[in-house]
Amino acid sequence: MSQTVNRADFDQVMVPNYAPADYIPVRGQGSRVWDQSGREYVDFGGGIAVNALGHAHPALVKALTEQAQKVWHVSNSLTNEPALQLAHKLVDATFADRVFFCNSGAEANEAAFKLARRWAIETGGADKFEIISTTNSFHGRTFFTVTVGGQPKYSDGFGPRPAGVTHIAYNDLDALRAAISDKTAAVVVEPIQGEGGVLPASREYLQGVRELCNKHNALMVLDEVQTGVGRTGSLYAYMEYGVTPDILTSAKSLGGGFPIGAMLTTEAIAKHFAPGTHGSTYGGNPLACAVASAVLDVVNTPATLAGVRTKHDKFLTKLDAINASTGVFETVRGMGLLIGAVLADKYKGRAKDFMTAAAKEGVIVLQAGPDVVRFAPSLIIEDADIDEGMARFERAVRAVTSA
């Protein structure tokens, strides 16, 4: 018999590193979810840009249940068909020649940073290990990835950090020119800073990063954990910018809700991870790879990717209308279905208030720092759900602004 639980149980049995909302979703279908009391919500959060195809998409349910009848796990002393099939799809669709599978974006970035240093030291000598990252960036929660991430609040309080990591301003080529040298192993960039406020890089910036990396024989590492797998209207955001990275990391939407991460790179770089240099017990898990393969089949199509761009415009039209009557936003920015509504000065620091008010009106939104309300819904969210969700969000905005 299953045990009855509620939100109060979290405070009794869970480590208190999260502060979840006061309701518990128990069922989802498409872009709607229902909580324990049967209350319905429109989901504009997508599990933080994870549920690329919404909840319980039939293609993903089919892939998971079919694979569950075959093989669940075999360890990496063997290989498996779903992992190889997924790797072929990723290689065929991107710049990459080789793929490493893991379980999360943090693990994908951990692998990327380790590989970048390994490559640099083996090709350029022991002094070539420095990594340049940007302020307000986010790359995961392992100790190495929070060190590379440019938000001290996530890395403070855990003792000495790994050495050789420098942080410079985002979207600032002059800062990069001043920091980069022949000792630089890699420059790590998010095409859009997600946790840092849904702030897109300029085209000139990413192209300049590429040129400076070439000049100093450093690797360009793109963290596409949040922007990848159709989120921006292209399969990966680098395709929007006219640049090609040396290493790319992917997770979140890749599994459509099932945990999986991937690091993509070239053959020449990949060979520096010889057998035994890195690994992951669950990486390449057949269940995860089967689901991710089904995700790619749906997402990497002209119809889905074009739909992301169309839905972006619809969200912006709705948000602009809300702003015209309330003046609550300073600007709305982002690409595709990763959208950040930056709060006006009067409401700075209150993103969580808007998120909480939205939940009370039956719509799930996110925040990206204290000043930005973030939207990262299903890539195939129906227009009717956008209309209803934005109507509810407008009520939430008015509740906050009139309080």
- Helix ranges (H only) for 94-189 are 105-124, 143-148, 152-155, 173-179
Report whether 233 contacts 336 (CB < 8 A).
Answer: yes
CA separation for the pair 8, 24 (Å, rounded): 11
* Torsion angle in degrees (nearest 10) through CA of 309, 313, 315, 316: 130
CA separation for the pair 186, 119 (Å, rounded): 10
CA separation for the pair 83, 255 (Å, rounded): 12
For the question of residue 138 being annotated catalytic, the response is yes
Task: Output the CA–CA distances (angstroms, integers) from residue 356 to 149, 178, 350, 364, in the order listed.
Answer: 27, 42, 10, 9
Annotated catalytic residue, options 101, 138, 258, 315: 138
Sign of CA dihedral 146, 150, 156, 159: positive
* Torsion angle in degrees (nearest 10) through CA of 308, 314, 318, 323: 70
Annotated catalytic residue, options 252, 273, 354, 393: 252
Report whether 181 contacts 115 (CB < 8 A).
Answer: no
User: Kind of pairing, strands 130-134 and 184-189?
Assistant: parallel
Annotated catalytic residue, options 44, 101, 129, 223: 223
User: Kind of pairing, strands 219-223 and 247-250?
Assistant: parallel
CA separation for the pair 245, 196 (Å, rounded): 21
For the question of residue 223 being annotated catalytic, the response is yes
CA separation for the pair 310, 96 (Å, rounded): 28
Give, as one character, the DSSP assignment of residue 161. P
User: Kind of pairing, strands 40-43 and 363-364?
Assistant: parallel
For the question of residue 252 being annotated catalytic, the response is yes
CA separation for the pair 60, 137 (Å, rounded): 31
- The amino acid that residue 385 corresponds to is D
Sign of CA dihedral 278, 281, 286, 288: negative
What are the residue numbers of the active site?
138, 223, 252
